[in-house]
Structures are given as C-alpha cells and as structure tokens.
Structure 1
Amino acid sequence: MRQLRHRRLTAVVALATVLLTAAPPTVASAGGRPDRQPGYHRVGYFTQWGIYGRAFSVKKLDASGAASRLTHLNYAFGNVSEDGRCYVDGGPGEGDAWADYQRPVPAEESVDGVADAPGQALNGNFGQLAKLKAKHPDLKVLISLGGWSWSTYFSNAARTDASRKAFVASCIDLYLKGNLPGSPGAAAGVFDGVDLDWEWPNWDGEPGNVIRPEDRENFTKLLAEFRRQLDAYGRTTGAHHPLTAFLPANPATMDAGYEGRKIFKYLDFGTVQGYDFHGGWEAVANQQSALRVPAGSPDNPDFSVEVAIDGWLTRGAPRDKLVLGIPFYGRGWTGVTGGGNGLFQPAAGPAPATYEAGYEDYKQLKTLAGNGYTVHRDLRAGHAWLFDGTTFWTYDDPAVVLQKMLYIRRTGLGGAMIWSLDGDDDNATLTKTIGVGLTTW
C-alpha cells in the first residue's frame, strides 16, 4: 500500500511539473533562474499558544525532524505597546509571559530531556528555544512582532524619528539582549533577529488598529532604523542579525502600505502571504492558497500565489528576497449546495472545526481523505480540496506543497515560509516535503 501511494504521488508530481513548465509565462516565471543560490530559506512560525490546545512543544520540532529542515524559526508573537515599545505583559490579551519564559517545562517536554527548575532565570518556550539552538546551531530564531492581533500600535511606534529609535532599542534590549522583566540578560542569545509582522501599514487589519496615511513611508524608515541598530549591535556580537517582514498578497495593500523596492534595501528577505485568499467569511466555497487563479473563478480580479508574487516583482522586489508562504491548515465551508465537486458553490457558513470554525490543521484534514471525503485536484491551478457532498475544505497536501516548491525553484524565489508549524503531523510530513523540494543538488 505504501508503494502504491508513493507511485501515485510520483505520478502527480510528474504531471504537475509538466503543467507548471507548460503554463503561460508571467512576471514571476519570465527570466526565472532555478537553483540560482547556494540554498533556500526555509522559515517556520512557532506559535506561543500552540503549547496549550495543540500540545505542540519546542521539543516536537526536534523529535519530528522539522528543526533540521529549517533555516529560520519565527516566534509568534511579540507585542507593541500604545506608546510604541516592545514589551511582555501577562495581562489577558496583552501577552503570555508564562508561556514565553516562566513556565517550568517538564522533562518529557524538554528538548534535552531535563526538566526546568521553578524560578530559574529562563524557563518556558524561550528556554526550550535556547536548547533547540544548541542542538541545531545553524538555525536562526527571530522574534516576530505584531501579527493580526498585535499590530494595533505599530503606527505609533513608526511615527517619528524619536519613536522609531525608542521602539527599535526596546525590541533589541528585550529580545536580542534578553533583558526580561526582572531577569536582565536571561534570554540573551535566544533570538538572532527580528521579523516585522505589521498587518497592515495604512490598510485595514483588525478593527481598532491605528492607521495613518504616512504609514507607507514610515514603514521604510522603521526598517532602516532596525537595520541601523541591528548592525550596530552586530558589531558588538560579531554576528549578522537578520531582519525580515511578512508581506501581503493583495496588490492594493502593497500600494497603500509599502514603498516597493525601497524596503528590500533593509530586509534580508520578505515572506509573502500565500494563503487566506478566500475563507468561511465568504458565502462561496473557494480556494485559499491556489498557485494560479483557477478557471471558472467567480471573482475578477482574484487572488493567487502567482498574483501575489507578480505583484511584488512588478513593484521592484528582488525575486531572491521573496519567500513564499505555505499554509499548514485549510479553510472550510459547510452547507455547500449545487452539486459537483463543491468548488465555487454556495455555502451556508464556515465548517465546524477543532479550534475555530472554518479553520483546521493539516494533521486533522489528512485523516478525512477516504473517510467520506474525496480529494479533488486542479493541477494546472495548483490546489486541492476535500468534499463530502456537504462540507468543503481547501488545503495544501504534500503534492500541492511539492508543486509550489517547483514553482519557487523555477521562478528563482528565495524559499518557503510555513504558517504554522503546529499544523503539521507528528512526522513533520509537510515540513519534510519542503525540505526535499528545496534541496539544492
């Protein structure tokens, strides 16, 4: 049975390769140079809250083999205060210092099998990240600032020269120098750099976010200040401290909030949102992460990986500094009517799921195939979905992920990013697929 599955996957990948090569050229594919660099970035987000319901510890990154396939690990997330500072607060909605660095991790959850002692200077996820880095010394760990929920006050932090200087200094002090509240230097060496996940400059994100027209120029200035202070800090450590940013898929958001090529002067690379193109907030079952806009799409214009990457390239982004985001989760609808395979059919609402309606981890969705659900594929558009006649899930399985790795190689992009690592199965199947697909022979 295992050999049969392997032959089927091989056949799917071979056909996907033919279709990918035969597709009409776009900005991304035109002039693409595969294997143009000595290695690809393989970036994974580790979620602070994943240790709870998902029971996803730092140790699982090592035990599953995921850590050895990554070049960068982004810790999600660090918060930004109203007065524009990096801070850790255990208050509800403000942070989780317990998960970050206070929780004594038991031996069975510890990377090295040694339990934390209560009250020691560094416990929790930060302490485990230090142990993970000891086992994987080439792995770079970045603190990711903001995210959907904590981008509220980014605009305040970026508003003036003085506010930018103070904000960046506070972030380097807290995370890179490791000066945790009450424990100076305790987390020094855990974080190598900073990832900015401002969602979004001068564009609607979560309701209540502070938004200003000058965010567009101030984002570039904020990157410049981060690069200046990180380089200055690097002169004391003898190391390069990476600076990255999470970038949107929507061309309108690109224009509103970003100065195209200017931002890449300061970034090591940018990770591009390759997902959430559609979801249960809409009344039609659709794709959330297709490589290309599928034929028959009801939306014009529509979103796709290709639209997102082409959007950044036409705005001056260097292709080798674009890292494509891959979802380790699916989006789902229920009450789908209209027959057929469910795609583009009306739906009653988001599908029931484990943690959030309309959102389910890959490790759960993989169990549905063959258990009442049929897997459907559009190889030319590069996406897959599950449908049981009523409930529809759009997701990336290993075949889709591998097709996207071929796209990255063909178009000369900088690598792949994962949101988020806790969605993978216990064998790190999708993470290993990315590792195989981006191996430079």
Structure 2
Amino acid sequence: MSRPSHHRRTALAAAAVLSLAIAPIAAAGPANAHAAPDTSKVSVGYMTQWGVYSGYYTKNLVTSGAVHKLTEIDYAFSNIAPDGTCASADAWADWQKPIDGANSVDGTSDTWTQPVAGNFHQLQELKKAYPDLKIVMSVGGWSESTNFSAAAATPESRAKFAQSCIDMYINGNLPGVAPGAAAGIFDGIAIDWEYPNEVGNGNPHGPQDTHNFTLLLAELRKQLDAAGAAAGGKHYLLTADTPSGAEKVSKIEVGPISKIVDWMNVMTFDFNGPWETTGPTESQSNLFPSPFDPAPRPTRSNPYPDNGEISVAEVVANYLAHGASPRKIAVSIPFYAHGWTGVAPGPHNDGLFQSATGVAADVNYNQIAAQPGTVHHDPFSRAAYKYDPATKTYWTFDDPQSIRDKVLFIKALGLRGDMTWSLEGDTADGQLVNAFGLAQ
C-alpha cells in the first residue's frame, strides 16, 4: 500500500512491543487442574455437514493436502433436540447419503446395505488412512444453539445432555442403526454455544447461563473421562468455541472453563462485517489495533461501545487477564470474506476506513481472486483486504501472509494453536491451510 516505509517499521516495532506486553500475562497463566500441561500445538479445521451438497467432501481434505497440516477436524454441527439431547441436524448428510467412489476417501462407493454411509463413513475412512488425526463433533453453532440454555439449566438436564452426546457420538449409537455402528469415529466433543446469556440467533437466554455453561462443560468432562476409562484409558477431547467480543466474554467464566476444557477455540473473526451496513470499512480479523481506526475505543464509562475497536491481540490479552492459560487458547482464522460496496478510495486509494453505501454478499477465500481489485496488507493491523476503485468494492479476509503473521504471534505467546471456519473456503491446493498449519 502507499504509506511511507517508515510507517511499516513503526508498525512492526509496535507489534513487537504489544507482544512483549502480553507475554508476562501469558507466562502467569494457571495450570490445568486435570492433567499435566500439554503444550502440543493444534491446528483445527472445521468441516461442515452441508458441504456434500455443494461438492465439498471429506476427500477434499486429502486432495488439497489439508490432512497433512491439521491435527484435528471439527465436524459441524450436531443439533440439540427440544428435550435437551444431542440429535443430528441432518441424518442424510451425516450417515445416510451414499458417497460414490469418485468422491470417497478410499475410492470405493458406499452401498445401500452398509450401516453407516455419508460423511460419517468418509470420516471413518479418513481416520483409517491418517490414524493420528483427531475428529471431534461440534455441538451447536449459530443455528443450533436454541436449546443450550435449557439443556444446561439443572444437574439432571446437564447429565442427560452429556450422556446423550456421548452415547451418540462416542459410543456410536445412531438412531435406526445397529448399536455401536458409528463407534470410533469421534475423539471428543466441542461445545459451540452462541452465546451464553446472549440472544444469538434469537435464542432463549438469561444470566444463569454464565455459570451453567461452566457446569455443563464440567459434566461433559466428567462423563468423557468415565467413557475414556471404560475404553482402556483413552482421553476424549473436550473443547469450547468461545466469543471474542469483550461483552460476550464477560458472560462466561473464562478461568474456570480453561481448567476444564482441553483448550478454547476463541472465535477471533467477524470483528466487523455487513451488519455495519454503512461501514466504515475495517478488518474482520485484524491481528493488532491500528492507530487510524475510527472505531470507538472502550472506556471506563463505556467498556463495550457499539462496533468498538477490537483485535486478535486484545482478545487474547483479555482472555489471559481473565485467568486463561495461554496453552488453552487457540486463535481462530476465517477462510471467507466480508465486503462493502459504494466505498470511496480514501486518502491512500485503498478504501480502508471509509464509509459505504451497501454490503456485498460474503464469499469464500477461494472466490477472492476472481473479485476485481488490488490486495493490500495494513502494516499496522497486519490485516489483508482488497479494494477495487472501479467498482468501489472493499473485501476483508485473511490470506497466507496475514495468517503467517498470526502463526508467529501464536508461537511467540505460547498459545495452543489455531482454528478455522471453514475448510471449504480454501483453494483446491490448500493455500490457506498450508500457512495455517504452520502452528503444528
């Protein structure tokens, strides 16, 4: 971009100072109360249940090379039924849809007589070929969090929820299928409650959610440990996808949660986006704050300003300050772009921090190259964005360069690793996951 080179040097120096400022907090993080410290790095890739309807199959993880860069696949999503139990959101995609040989991991077609087909069988094949890869069922998400509050409400409902999830996904007891037919596919459970004591997608919620979320995770940890003991000492993973915004973070018990879960996938994306219909154009996942960002800064009198400035570094610092150990934090990276239209070039002819007249439909990273414009990298925030003065369109996303900056940050602070939503947004040759997977 067109700013003088001394600004880049200043930005890099500021980034280094900020990392050093956070490091002492990281070093003081609490120990895991349940096991010896695990410092292994993780790279978690989300794979969606519905990808099979748009041509993204488990096999794509092999052909793109992603399987060699990831330590874990999180499968999205399991629903929660009105009675507070785990339930498939789409049994056809999960274990009923036959996958043909051309799209199968091992090259053989599913048959109508096999008990488990669909995505679950492809995940079985993937595990057979790559036995070190962990596969985790994610429960909830934006569209499936409606019944979390009720499921977490009482000791009985929490026990019922945990038992149902373990029975279905760990023990492999799927409805209408022979008992145990899907056993051995999943190595754990991820809880993606969006969000405790927040309305989310129109969800029931209340202040009781804050502590009940912790209790729900504790119940799951207890039952997963019991299942692991019964399986001969296996450790089943328990992770949580947790918010980035300071107001939402204030409604979960970060310190206690970090002692229960193996780690938290902190959702460090969607800082800005099309819900801000007139802009200003900003980054949805910037690593550091920019001194030129017009967004309001939090103050003592207004700690949660609407569309306030936020960055990955500040989110991580907030988690550390609230008692999370650095090895319990994984930074999340988007494989998609948000966009605005009607954006003036601005003083640097790059569209950054400008007002907009409308929004562009989200696109995956693999569609960004087809969008007109020039890719820029902000030397202050370390964010990638694309702007086209002819169409006055601005896109915010992550690319290999911005991801490598985040991986360096993860390593410098001793964080657990990285997570992405979601793998089908990458290119066929895995441009993003090849940068993302460096956290291993």
State the Cα distance separating 1:18 from its structure 2 match: 5.0
Paired position in structure 2 for 1:4 = none
More displaced stretch, 76-85 vs 102-111: 76-85
8 Å CA contact 1:32–1:410 kept in 2: the answer is no
Alignment of 1:78 with 2:87, yes or no, is: no
Question: Which position in structure 1 is the counterpart of 2:3?
Answer: none
Alignment of 1:366 with 2:362, yes or no, is no
- CA-atom RMSD, angstroms? 2.0
CA distance in 2, matches of 1:300, 1:313: 23
Cα distance in 2, alignment partners of residues 388 and 125 from structure 1? 39
**1:350 partnered with 2:359:** yes
Matches within 5 A, 1:219-298: 219-238=213-232, 239-256=234-251, 258-282=252-276, 283-284=278-279, 285-298=281-294
User: Offset at 1:380?
Assistant: 2.6
Distance in 2 (CA, whole Å) between partners of 1:175 and 1:16 is 50
8 Å contact from structure 2 (residues 11, 380) kept in 1? no
SS state at 2:18 partner: coil
Name the CA distance, whole Å, in 2 between partners of 1:138 and 1:380. 38
Q: CA deviation at 1:26?
A: 6.2
Aligned counterpart in structure 1 of residue 98 of structure 2, from 101, 104, 109: 104
Q: Distance in 1 between matches of 2:283 and 2:345?
A: 17
Q: How does 1:400-439 map to 2 (within 5 A)?
A: 400-436=402-438, 438-439=439-440
Which letter maps to 1:290?
A: N
Query: 1:15 and 1:397 mapped to 2: Cα distance?
Result: 21
Residues 38 and 263 (structure 1 numbering): CA distance in 2 closer, same or farther, change over 3 Å? closer
Give the counterpart letter for 1:392 in structure 2.
Answer: Y
Equivalent in the alignment of 1:46? 47
Q: Are the equivalent residues in 1 in contact too, given 2:26–2:320 (CA < 8 A)?
A: no
Distance in 2 (CA, whole Å) between partners of 1:15 and 1:399 is 17
Residue 30 of structure 1: CA displacement?
3.7
Whether the 8 Å contact between 1:19 and 1:380 is mirrored in structure 2 is no
Deviations 1:187-216 (A, max 9, x none): 111111000000000112112x01021101
Distance 2:257 2:217 in 1: 7
Give the structure-1-normalised TM-score. Answer: 0.88
Report the CA distance between 1:151 and its aligned residue. Answer: 0.4
Equivalent pair of 2:95/2:119 in contact (CA under 8 Å): yes
Moved more, 23-32 or 341-350: 23-32
2-side partners of 1:405 and 1:97: how far apart? 36
Q: Tell me by how many angstroms 1:350 deviates.
A: 1.4
Alpha-carbon distance in structure 1 between the residues aligned to 2:50 and 2:220? 27
Question: How many equivalent residue pairs?
Answer: 406
CA distance in structure 1 between the partners assigned to 2:433 and 2:345 by the alignment:
36
The structural deviation recorded for 1:29 is 3.4
**CA distance in 2: counterparts of 1:251 and 1:21, whole angstroms:** 21
Q: Distance in 1 between matches of 2:16 and 2:254?
A: 30
List per-residue Cα deviations over 1:123-167 (Å, max 9, x = no partner).
Answer: 000000000001110111110000000001100100000000001
* C-alpha separation in 2, matches of 1:401 and 1:165: 39
The CA deviation string for residues 229-285 of structure 1, in whole angstroms up to 9 with x for no partner, is 0000001112100000001001111112x1121111210000011110000111112
Counterpart in the other structure of 1:6: none
User: How far does residue 413 in structure 1 lie from its aligned partner after superposition?
Assistant: 0.5
What letter matches 1:404 in structure 2? K
Return closer, same or farther for 1:332/1:26 CA change in 2, 3 Å cut-off. Answer: farther
Indicate if the aligned counterparts of 1:202 and 1:211 stay in contact, CA closer than 8 A: yes
Cross-structure match for 1:378: 378
- Residue in 2 aligned with 1:327? 334
Correspondences of 1:59-208 after superposition (within 5 Å):
59-88=59-88, 95-183=89-177, 184-207=179-202
- AA aligned to 1:45 is Y
In 1: Cα distance, 2:11 partner to 2:66 partner: 25
Consecutive unaligned residues of structure 1, counting only runs of 5 or more, are 1-13, 89-94, 352-356
Letter of the 1:360 counterpart? V
Q: Which runs of 4+ in 1 moved over 2 A?
A: 14-33, 36-39, 337-340
In the TM superposition, residue 37 of structure 1 has moved relative to its aligned partner by 7.0
Query: Does the Cα contact within 8 Å between 2:19 and 2:409 map onto a contact in 1?
Result: no
The one-letter amino acid of 2:291's match is A
**TM-score normalized by the length of structure 2:** 0.88
Judging changes above 3 Å, is the alpha-carbon distance between structure 1 residues 315 and 205 closer, same or farther for their aligned structure 2 residues? same
1:83-119, CA deviations, whole angstroms, 9 ceiling, x for partnerless residues? Answer: 211012xxxxxx2111110001000000000100024
Q: Residue 210 of structure 1 aligns with which residue?
A: 204
Is 1:307 aligned to 2:314, yes or no?
yes
Alpha-carbon offset, residue 338 of structure 1: 5.5
Residue pair 1:66, 1:432 contacting (<8 A) in 2 also: yes
The one-letter amino acid paired with 1:300 is P
Seen in structure 2, the aligned counterparts of structure 1 residues 364 and 228 have a Cα distance that, compared at 3 Å, is: same
Contact 1:77-1:147 at 8 Å conserved across structures: yes
Structure 2 gap segments, 5+ residues each:
1-7, 28-36, 298-308
Q: Distance in 2 between matches of 1:16 and 1:367?
A: 33
For residues 162 and 305 of structure 1, do their structure 2 counterparts lie closer, same or farther at Cα, with a shift above 3 Å needed?
Answer: same
| Equivalence for 1:7 | none
Residues 304-356 of structure 1 show CA distances to partners (whole Å, capped at 9, x for unaligned) of 111211111110000111000011111111111353311111112211xxxxx
Deviation at 1:411, TM superposition (A): 1.0
1:24 shift after superposition: 3.4
Corresponding position of 1:91: none
